[in-house]
Chains A and B, each alone.
Chain A
Amino acid sequence: NAGVMQNPRHLVRRRGQEARLRCSPMKGHSHVYWYRQLPEEGLKFMVYLQKENIIDESGMPKERFSAEFPKEGPSILRIQQVVRGDSAAYFCASSAWNEQFFGPGTRLTVL
């Protein structure tokens, strides 16, 4: 039973490029959450999705960031026109009920 999968594990982008982060939830989980961890900080909630629906995006920056969880395929977190401040570890979690299980994360570095 595979856990939460995230790819790529490491992503390097230059300022102004786009970053796409993918997350495949655990089998049987229909809830997906994205969190961001900046250096020396805890994880901060970004967005909560169910299939084809954004349930809570209160933690998403107003511009450049978007997320989707299509009927088929992984959840995608998309960052347009990346800036150096976007450099962070981005974690996806999935759940069936209360416990959220995390993927290994994608470490985004913006040059």
Chain B
Amino acid sequence: DQQVKQNSPSLSVQEGRISILNCDYTNSMFDYFLWYKKYPAEGPTFLISISSIKDKNEDGRFTVFLNKSAKHLSLHIVPSQPGDSAVYFCAASAGPGSSNTGKLIFGQGTTLQVKP
């Protein structure tokens, strides 16, 4: 049962344009969402997060949008740079009081390629 889904395995964009990575979830208990970036042979690097009490969080070139009614979140990168080329993972967790104990549930990842 895949509770967090990233339906696009790959995405290719031109340098300077916007990259939009999407993520859907099914568990309504999730109340905290994170995006990680991963290069080959390295661990995931935390990028940005959002709590379910918000619908938008911005940090520099990265913005995460959360649509709770649709159980959908997206990561926008603008402008995209070649160094952004990596695998991006969406992750979700449920807060204290649920059975998830803070563990992260990851999507399958989307490989982003930014072309110069």
Q: List 14 A-B contacts (CB under 8 A).
A: A4-B43, A31-B102, A33-B102, A41-B108, A42-B89, A55-B101, A93-B104, A98-B49, A98-B93, A100-B46, A101-B46, A102-B44, A102-B46, A105-B41
Do the beta carbons of A105 and B104 come within 8 Å of each other? no
Interface residue tally for chain B (C-beta within 8 Å): 22
How far apart are the CA atoms of A75 and B108 in the complex, in Å?
A: 26
Chain A interface secondary structure, helix, strand, loop or mixed?
A: strand
Q: Measured between C-beta atoms, what is the minimum distance from B65 to chain A in Å? A: 19
Do the beta carbons of B42 and A44 come within 8 Å of each other? no
Nearest opposing residue in chain B for A41, CB measure = B108
- Cβ-defined partner of B42 (8 Å) among A59, A98, A104: A104
Q: Measured between C-beta atoms, what is the minimum distance from B56 to chain A in Å? A: 18
**B103 contacts which chain A residues (CB < 8 A)?**
33, 45, 48, 56, 58-59
Contacts A41-B108, A42-B107, A42-B108 given; indicate if A98 touches B102 (C-beta within 8 A): yes
Do the beta carbons of A42 and B101 come within 8 Å of each other? no
How far apart are the CA atoms of A59 and B105 in the complex, in Å?
A: 11
